[in-house]
Amino acid sequence: MCGITGWVSYGRDLRSEKATLQAMTDTMDKRGPDDEGLWTSQHAALGHRRLAIIDIPGGHQPMTSTRPDGTEAVIVYSGETYNFRELRGTLTNTFRTSSDTEVVLHAHEEWGQGAVEQLNGMFAYALWDSRTEELLLVRDRLGVKPLYYLETEDGVVFGSEPKAILANPLASRNVGIDGLRRLLGFVADPSNAVFDGMKEVPPGHVVRVTKQGLQETRYWGLDDHEHTDDLDTTIATVRELLNDTASRQLIADVPLCTLLSGGLDSSALTALAAQQLSAAGKGAVRSFAVDFVGYADNFVADGLRDAPDTQFVKDVARHVAADHRDIVLSNDDLLEPAHRAAVLAARDYPGLGDMDTSLYLLFKAVREQSTVALSGESADEVFGGYADFHDPKVVAAETFPWLAGSMAQGRDSTSPFSHDVQRQLDMEGYYDDQYRRALAEVPTRPGDVGLEARMRQISYLYLTRFLPLLLERKDRMSMAVGLEVRVPFCDHRLVQYVFGTPWAFKTFDGREKSLLRAATKDLLPESVVQRVKSPYPSTQDPQYSKTILQELGSVLDDSNAPISALLDRTGVEKILGAQDDPHARHAAERVVGINSWLADHTLSL
C-alpha cells in the first residue's frame, strides 16, 4: 500500500534538501512500516514508505529506470494494480522485479501518460522524468488511494496525506473559512483539502507539473451509455464482474482476510472470497467483525439500525465456513486518550468520533493476523443501498440527499458555534454552491427526464461527493496500523456498468440493491438475503455519551480552550441538555475533536 511524498522545485537545488524530504517521508512511517527510500536530484526529490504486499524482496522504492542516454524515469507508488501480470506480458521492457510498481513504471515509458488508462486498481503515484523535467501525479478512478498537493512559486509539494506536505516549510498549518467549511461539511471537494492552498488530485485525474506550471487532466469519469442488456443478462454480468474482481483482489504475498458486518455487501464479498479460496485449495477465508461490549443485549432500534450485526455475522461465518473472529470493544477502548489521539493524528483533522476510533481499533486487531483486508465499501453507492435513494422527499430535495436525509430524520439543527462564525461559514450557501457544481457534471442522455434522470443524479452525487469521504476514512484508519484495505466494489468496470443500468433494474424486486442481491443470493444465508440495509455500528452505551458530554462541558467552561472563541454558550448548553440524543453526542464529539486539533493548527476566520 505505502505512502508517497515529494517535492519539485525548478528554482532551487533539492539535493541540499534531503533533511526536509526525510522529515516529509517520516510522517508516513505507519503507512509503510517495512521499508523506506529517498531519491533526490537537482529539481526533484521523492520519498517512499513501503508496506510490502507484492514481491516483498524486490519492490523497494523509489524505483528508477535508466535509459541509454543516462536520463531516468523515477516512480513512487502507493496501492495495487490488479492487472499488472497481464500488462507485463504486453510490455517489451526487461524486468528486474516481479512487482506491480515496475510494470506501471515501464508502462509509462512505453505508452506515455495514457498508460494510466490501462491500469485496473487502486493507486496513487508520482512519476518524474529527468529528460523532460516533468512530474506526473496520478490517482485512481474512484479515489480509493489519496494524493494531496500544494502548488508553490516554482513547483509543487505532494504526499499521500496532508501531514507529509505540512512537514515542508513551504506549507501552512493555517485553516481559513473555506477549509473550515470543508472540515464541517460532509461533502467531498478535491479542490479544498482543509489546509490553506492544499488540494487533492481528483479521482480519475492526472496533474502534470512542468516549469510552466500545473495542468490537471481527467482520464476517466462516469459516462451515461445506453444500457441494452435485459435484466437477466444484467444480473449475470454483475456476477461475472464480481467474480473477476474478487479473484484479482485476492492476490497477495501476505495473509489476507475480509471485513464482515453481516450486511449484504460484506457478506457477498466474504462468500465470493470463500468460494474462490476453496476452489484454489487455499483453505477457509479469514473474516473479522467489530462489536461492542453488551451491544447486542442492550440494543435499541433507531432510524438507521433495526438490529445488531451479531447474528447475521454468525450466520454468514457458519454458512461459508469462515475462520471468523469478533473484535469486541469496550468504553475504555473507545475513550482511551491514546487511541483518540492516534485517530486524530491519522486523520489530520477531526472525523466521526467513536466510529473512527472503533474502525481504527478493529483494523489494529486485524493487523495482528492479516496484512490485507477486503471491504464491502461503495456497494451502497453503486447499487443504491441507502434509504435516501428510496425516499421520495429526499430524492426531490434540492440538495445532497444525505443532507436532506439528515433533515428528514429530524436531527436538531442547533449549532455550537457563535452567530458570527455561522454567518462567516454560511453553510447553506456553501452546500448550495457545491450541489450546483456537482449537478453540472452529471452525464445526461438527450431527452432523458423524470425519475430515471433524477436517480442518475442521485447516484452520481453519492459516487463523487459522498463515497470519497468514506474511502478517505477507511484509508486513514487502516494505514495508521499498516493494513491494506481493498475495495472490490470500487472496480471501475463494475461501477460504470451498474451506473448505466436503469433505475428500474436496481429496484426490480421492490428493495434496495436488487442487482447485488440477485447476483449473489445463491452464496448467502436467507437471513442476510432478506436483511435491510444497516450502516456501520456505533456504540449505544449511555456512559460513552455521558463522558463525551462531560468533556464538552469542560471545554465550554475553559476560557483558554482553543475553540472557545468560536462557541455560542447557549448552543452548547442545548447540546449538553440533550443527554439521550445520539445526534447531540455526535455534535459534542465534533467540538471536542476540533478543540484537540486546534492545539496544533491555526484557524483564520
| For range 209-218, the mean pLDDT | 97
| Nearest-5° Cα angle at 128, 124 to 132 | 140
Asked, for residue 225, whether it belongs to a domain, the answer is: no
User: Is 376 annotated in some ligand binding site?
Assistant: yes
pLDDT of 379 strictly over 60: yes
| For range 488-515, the mean pLDDT | 96
CB 524 within 8 A of CB 267: yes
Q: What are the counts of helices (DSSP H) followed by strands (DSSP E) for the chain?
A: 25, 19
pLDDT of 417 strictly over 60: yes
Give the Å distances, CA to CA, from 542 to 356, 577, 579. 18, 14, 9
Domain final residue, candidates 185, 218, 251: 218
pLDDT of 532 strictly over 90: no
* pLDDT for the residue 537: 80
CB 494 within 8 A of CB 382: yes
Give the Å distances, CA to CA, from 157 to 136, 169, 182. 12, 10, 21
Asked, for residue 141, whether it belongs to a domain, the answer is: yes
pLDDT of 578 strictly over 80: yes
Kindly indicate the confidence band of residue 539, based on its pLDDT and cuts at 50, 70 and 90. Answer: confident
pLDDT of 446 strictly over 80: no
Contacts for 159 with CB less than 8 Å, ≥ 6 apart:
3, 4, 5, 6, 24, 27, 28, 147, 148, 149, 165
236 with 212, same domain: the answer is no
Name the residue with higher pLDDT: 408 or 553: 553
CB 39 within 8 A of CB 64: yes
What span, in angstroms and rounded, lies between the C-alpha atoms of 200 and 117?
A: 19
477 with 591, same domain: the answer is no
Domain final residue, candidates 218, 245, 266: 218
pLDDT of 410 strictly over 50: no
- Give the domain extent around 551: 542-601
258 with 131, same domain: the answer is no
As a whole-number percent, the residues of the chain with pLDDT over 70 amount to 98
pLDDT of 1 strictly over 70: no
Query: How many domains is the chain partitioned into structurally?
Result: 3
399 with 422, same domain: the answer is yes
Asked, for residue 535, whether it belongs to a domain, the answer is: no
517 with 557, same domain: the answer is no
Task: Give the torsion through C-alpha atoms of 370, 36, 476, 27, to 10 deg.
Answer: 140
What span, in angstroms and rounded, lies between the C-alpha atoms of 420 and 484?
A: 43
Start-end of H helices in 215-336: 231-249, 264-279, 310-319, 331-335
Residue type, 74: V
pLDDT of 4 strictly over 80: yes
Question: Smallest Cα–Cα separation from 270: which of 290, 289, 292, 296?
Answer: 289
What span, in angstroms and rounded, lies between the C-alpha atoms of 3 and 409?
A: 39
CB 101 within 8 A of CB 141: no
As a whole-number percent, the residues of the chain with pLDDT over 90 amount to 85
Q: What is the mean pLDDT of the chain?
A: 93
pLDDT digits (tens, 9 = 90+) for 329-371: 999 999 999 999 999 999 999 999 999 999 999 999 999 999 9
| For range 76-85, the mean pLDDT | 95
Cis check: omega of the bond before 392, within 30 degrees of 0: no
Start-end of H helices in 250-378: 264-279, 310-319, 331-335, 337-347, 354-366
CB 34 within 8 A of CB 48: no
Q: Which three cell numbers stand for residue 438?
A: 456537482
Active site residue 2: yes
Asked, for residue 154, whether it belongs to a domain, the answer is: yes
pLDDT of 113 strictly over 70: yes
Q: Which three cell numbers stand for residue 498?
A: 451498474
pLDDT digits (tens, 9 = 90+) for 47-70: 999 998 887 888 899 999 999 899
CB 287 within 8 A of CB 258: yes
Domain final residue, candidates 188, 218, 248: 218
User: Is 354 annotated in some ligand binding site?
Assistant: no
Expressed in percent and rounded to 5, the helix, strand and coil fractions of the chain are: 45, 15, 40
Looking up cell 447485488, which residue turns up?
516
| For range 82-88, the mean pLDDT | 94
pLDDT digits (tens, 9 = 90+) for 280-333: 999 999 999 999 998 777 777 776 777 778 999 999 999 999 999 999 999 999
Query: SS3 for 396?
Result: helix
What span, in angstroms and rounded, lies between the C-alpha atoms of 190 and 194?
A: 10
User: Is 105 annotated in some ligand binding site?
Assistant: no
174 with 47, same domain: the answer is yes
* pLDDT for the residue 224: 80
255 with 201, same domain: the answer is no
Asked, for residue 224, whether it belongs to a domain, the answer is: no
Give the Å distances, CA to CA, from 72 to 10, 62, 96, 134, 438. 17, 12, 16, 11, 40
Question: Smallest Cα–Cα separation from 77: which of 110, 115, 43?
Answer: 115
Kindly indicate the confidence band of residue 253, based on its pLDDT and cuts at 50, 70 and 90. Answer: confident
The CATH number of whichever domain residue 101 belongs to comes to 3.60.20.10
Q: Which three cell numbers stand for residue 141?
A: 478512478
512 with 574, same domain: the answer is no
What span, in angstroms and rounded, lies between the C-alpha atoms of 267 and 461?
A: 26
Helix (H) or strand (E) holding 37: strand 35-40
The CATH number of whichever domain residue 383 belongs to comes to 3.40.50.620
Handedness of CA 484, 489, 490, 493 (dihedral sign): positive
Question: Which contacts of 81-86 are long-range, i.e. CB under 8 A and separated by 24 or more positions?
Answer: 81/119, 81/120, 81/121, 81/123, 82/120, 82/121, 82/248, 82/249, 82/251, 83/118, 83/119, 83/120, 83/121, 83/248, 84/54, 84/121
pTM equals: 0.95
CB 270 within 8 A of CB 260: yes
| For range 102-115, the mean pLDDT | 95
522 with 548, same domain: the answer is no
499 with 563, same domain: the answer is no
Q: Which three cell numbers stand for residue 307?
A: 438490529
214 with 238, same domain: the answer is no
Asked, for residue 427, whether it belongs to a domain, the answer is: yes
CB 591 within 8 A of CB 552: yes
Question: Smallest Cα–Cα separation from 260: which of 321, 301, 351?
Answer: 321
Question: Smallest Cα–Cα separation from 547: which of 583, 599, 592?
Answer: 592
205 with 323, same domain: the answer is no
What span, in angstroms and rounded, lies between the C-alpha atoms of 220 and 213?
A: 22
* pLDDT for the residue 413: 64
Question: Smallest Cα–Cα separation from 286: which of 274, 272, 275?
Answer: 274
By the 10 Å C-beta count (0-12 exposed, 13-18 middle, 19+ buried), 221 is classed as middle
User: Is 375 annotated in some ligand binding site?
Assistant: yes
pLDDT of 459 strictly over 70: yes
- 3-state SS of 555-578 is HHHCCCCCCHHHECHHHHHHHHHC
**Dihedrals phi, psi of 261, to nearest 5 degrees:** -105, -15
Cα-only R_g, the chain: 24
* pLDDT for the residue 406: 67
User: Is 378 annotated in some ligand binding site?
Assistant: no
The residue from 1, 2, 53, 147 that is catalytic is 2
Name the residue with higher pLDDT: 584 or 379: 379
| For range 542-559, the mean pLDDT | 94
DSSP symbols for 141-209: SS--S--EEEEETTEEEEESSHHHHHTSTTS--EE-HHHHHHHHS----TT--SSTTEEEPPTTEEEEE
Asked, for residue 239, whether it belongs to a domain, the answer is: yes
Asked, for residue 536, whether it belongs to a domain, the answer is: no
Kindly indicate the confidence band of residue 405, based on its pLDDT and cuts at 50, 70 and 90. Answer: confident
